[in-house]
Structure 1
């Protein structure tokens, strides 16, 4: 595991522990609400686990927090170089997102990649909105029961709390820019 990812997972663990303790929620209660085992939650809090993005979304939904709440962002001008950031992987390592920015507590920006011939599904907090920009190739998006074929530079916006699936049917990786907007800051 890369050193940058170790630092990222340690940061996530420390912030999760702080949020959970500030809300006076035990590991057992969070495990029950999130459907993530107490053992896994403990390892995440100690920075010993490499949590998948799916597990992090479960925890965020259970705590009703934004994913960026588990990260620490400095208030300054920052440049993010392509492929230089640590990232969160999907369960099969065929999807990843790089957390980039959190703006005024209501919007998060991510760079994402979906591997060739793969798909990834997720949903976010109630009342959230997601916007996806396709940077190369083509992507099929399933939002609820509807399918949308997107080409390079196409943008789709939809309710983030609805189950949605990113589908790459090509033989090349597809890169995306994602933003998540929330009704109110956490």
Structure 2
């Protein structure tokens, strides 16, 4: 429930900052007014896909919804994916936010783990957003430009994320990858 409350509070704060009604937020994000209200009240926990829709509609980073806090100071910072790993957004899809979005840098870094045969597809992000995928272990495929591209440990790819894209584990063990998401400078 703690995650639902944090996401909801952040959503409500963003909506108020923009001066948007729930109707306007629903139109901007493509997420129903009812669902947005439930998220704001902490009654519903959005999936990764819904959270991306909301972040894209508000033109903010995905990590702004799940990061604990950031003081925006660019200082040395050590992170441990094992301590940060969470599965609460989708069963079989573990998310570790290694470095939240920092406006001075323009990117966020995740370590993601896909259970065997798990597949996740994402709607297009905003124009100019790019994703950089590095397969750390296992075997996976990445969907972009309308087709699936295989990656094995040590292989990497970059693509424009303003298109339908996705990730799937094509092996029998967990596939682990790093995802650096870069947002265009505003």
State the TM-score, normalized to the length of structure 2.
0.85
Distance (Å, rounded) in 1 between the aligned partners of 2:84 and 2:3: 10
1:73 corresponds in structure 2 to: 70
In structure 1, list runs of 5 or more residues that go unmatched. Answer: 1-5
Question: Cα 1:17–1:57, aligned 2, differ >3 Å: closer, same or farther?
Answer: same
Deviation of residue 16 (structure 1)?
1.4
What RMSD, in angstroms, separates the aligned Cα atoms of the two structures?
2.1
Q: CA deviation at 1:138?
A: 1.2
Superposed CA deviations along residues 9-46 of structure 1, whole A, max 9, x for unmatched, are: 32222121111111111112212332222222122222
SS at match of 2:60: coil
Alpha-carbon displacement from aligned partner over 1:127-175 (angstroms, at most 9, x marks no partner): 1110011110111112122332111011111101121121212111101
2:143 counterpart of 1:139: no
Query: What is the deviation of 1:118?
Result: 2.1
Count of residue pairs the alignment pairs up: 179
8 Å Cα contact 1:135-1:175 kept in structure 2:
yes
Aligned to 1:153: 154
**Structure 2 SS opposite 1:84:** helix
Equivalent pair of 1:52/1:88 in contact (CA under 8 Å): no
2:59 pairs with 1:58? no
Alpha-carbon shift at residue 90 of structure 1 (Å) = 5.1
Give the deviation of 1:113 after TM superposition. Answer: 1.0
Q: Distance in 2 between matches of 1:77 and 1:13?
A: 30
